[in-house]
A and B are shown apart, each in its own frame.
Chain A
Amino acid sequence: DVKVTQSSRYLVKRTGEKVFLECVQDMDHENMFWYRQDPGLGLRLIYFSYDVKMKEKGDIPEGYSVSREKKERFSLILESASTNQTSMYLCASSSGLQGNEKLLFGSGTQLSVL
């Protein structure tokens, strides 16, 4: 059963901590994405990657960075966590570059920054 796996379902961190969110996919997909979901705002794209070691900023990249050293793994990094980064974080992957590939999402990580 193909899937996208996020390492943590719930995470509680303190302001100023460095936070790593890990995502692994087993479908050999080229593209990987990080979204955050907030009430009333839907899903907003933070960063995406269309190849190993490649990354592109999404709509809200400020305060975040990413790493893609291997095709199957895409990490989201909060260099210095702040309370406004409390959110549900969703990783997704897709294949190809046609613009109509269906994203496959992980179950999400609910991050609370205190």
Chain B
Amino acid sequence: DQQVKQNSPSLSVQEGRISILNCDYTNSMFDYFLWYKKYPAEGPTFLISISSIKDKNEDGRFTVFLNKSAKHLSLHIVPSQPGDSAVYFCAASNDYKLSFGAGTTVTVRA
């Protein structure tokens, strides 16, 4: 039973516009959340994270929002660039194990 869910398998967005990726979780013990980005034939790479004591964390073009009451987090990419085309995985932890979502494939159109 997946504890972290990404219900949108794919997202297509025009270059320069905002990409919004969503993630829901069921385990209220999760206290740290991360987003990973994966290009084909490469391992996932860390993108941005947020602790459960915060509701927002920003790093350049990437912002992660956390709504603990709704058990929901989202990743905003503004503006989207062609190099952002990749699979994005949401992950959550309550110890040193991470639980991952199924991923969302983002395609940025020129």
Q: Which residues of B lie under 8 Å from residue A105 when comparing CB positions?
A: 43-45
Instruction: Tally B residues with Cβ within 8 Å of A.
Output: 29
Which of B41, B43, B46, B93 is within 8 Å of A99, CB to CB? Answer: B93
Which of A42, A103, A107 is within 8 Å of B46, CB to CB? Answer: A103
Known: A40-B9, A107-B41, A108-B42. A97 touches B97 (CB 8 A): no
A11 within 8 A of B: no
Judge whether B95 and A43 touch: CB under 8 Å: no
* A94–B31 alpha-carbon span in the complex (Å): 17
Judge whether A100 and B89 touch: CB under 8 Å: no
Known: A41-B102, A99-B31, A102-B49. A90 touches B97 (CB 8 A): no
Which of A9, A43, A96, A105 has most chain B Cβ within 10 Å? Answer: A43
The count of A-to-B residue pairs whose CB atoms sit within 8 angstroms is 66
Judge whether A100 and B32 touch: CB under 8 Å: yes
Q: Which residues of A lie under 8 Å from residue B97 when comparing CB positions?
A: 45, 48, 58
Judge whether A50 and B43 touch: CB under 8 Å: no
Judge whether B45 and A100 touch: CB under 8 Å: no
Which of A35, A43, A59, A96 is within 8 Å of B96, CB to CB? Answer: A96
* A107–B96 alpha-carbon span in the complex (Å): 21
CB distance from B28 to the nearest CB of A (A): 15
Interface of A is mostly: loop
Q: Which residues of B lie under 8 Å from residue A50 when comparing CB positions?
A: 96
* A45–B2 alpha-carbon span in the complex (Å): 12
For residues 17 through 76 of chain B, which have their beta carbon under 8 Å from a beta carbon of chain A?
31-32, 34, 36, 41-46, 49, 51
Which of A43, A59, A99 is within 8 Å of B89, CB to CB? Answer: A43
A interface residues (Cβ-Cβ under 8 A, vs B): 4, 9, 31, 35, 40-45, 48, 50, 58-59, 90, 92, 94, 96-108
